[in-house]
C-alpha cells in the first residue's frame, strides 16, 4: 500500500500549524459522515464536556474507518464542526491519540450556530484513501 503524500507548506503558502495543507493519495476513496458523541446504543457521551465528546467522536471515526478497511493512517482530510472554537483544544488532544503530528491530514474547522441536537458540541467528518 502506498501512503498518502503530504505537502505541509506549498510554495508561496504560509506553513501549516496543526494540519497539512495538501494530502494526496491513490486508491479507494472513503467518506465518513460527520460523527457525534454517541455511544453504540445512541446515548450522548460527555454532555457539556468537550474532551469526553472529542474522545467519543474519534472512537466513532476509528470504528467507521475500520468498517471500510481504513485506519487513521489513510485519512487525508478532517472537517471539524464546533459550536465554540475553544473546543478545538480538546479535539487536538483526542486527535493526537489517533494521529501523530507527522501524519496530520488536511483539515478545516468551522464554528456553527448549532448541531442537530443542543447537547452536541462538535461533529467531525473524515475522508480517507485506502490502498494504491
Residue 45 confidence (pLDDT): 97
Phi, psi at 3, each rounded to 5°: -85, 155
Phi, psi at 7, each rounded to 5°: -125, 95
pLDDT tens string 5-51: 888 888 888 888 888 888 887 889 999 999 999 999 999 999 999 99
Say yes or no to pLDDT of 67 above 80.
yes
Residue 132 confidence (pLDDT): 66
* Separation in Å, CA 83 to CA 2, 96, 102, 125: 36, 21, 28, 15
Query: Can you list the domains of the chain with their CATH numbers?
Result: 32-130 (3.30.1330.40)
Identify the band that residue 54 occupies on the pLDDT scale cut at 50, 70 and 90. very high
Amino acid at each position: 500500500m502506498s501512503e498518502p503524500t503530504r505537502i505541509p507548506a506549498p510554495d508561496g503558502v504560509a506553513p501549516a500549524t496543526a494540519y497539512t495543507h495538501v494530502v494526496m493519495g491513490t486508491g479507494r476513496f472513503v467518506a465518513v459522515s460527520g460523527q457525534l458523541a454517541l455511544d453504540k446504543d445512541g446515548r450522548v457521551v460527555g454532555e457539556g464536556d468537550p474532551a469526553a465528546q472529542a474522545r467519543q467522536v474519534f472512537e466513532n471515526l476509528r470504528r467507521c474507518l475500520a468498517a471500510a478497511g481504513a485506519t487513521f493512517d489513510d485519512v487525508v482530510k478532517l472537517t471539524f464542526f464546533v459550536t465554540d472554537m475553544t473546543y478545538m483544544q480538546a479535539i487536538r488532544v483526542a486527535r493526537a491519540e489517533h494521529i501523530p503530528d507527522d501524519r496530520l491530514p488536511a483539515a478545516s474547522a468551522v464554528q456553527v450556530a448549532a448541531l442537530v441536537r443542543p447537547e452536541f458540541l462538535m461533529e467531525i467528518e473524515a475522508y480517507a484513501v485506502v490502498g494504491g
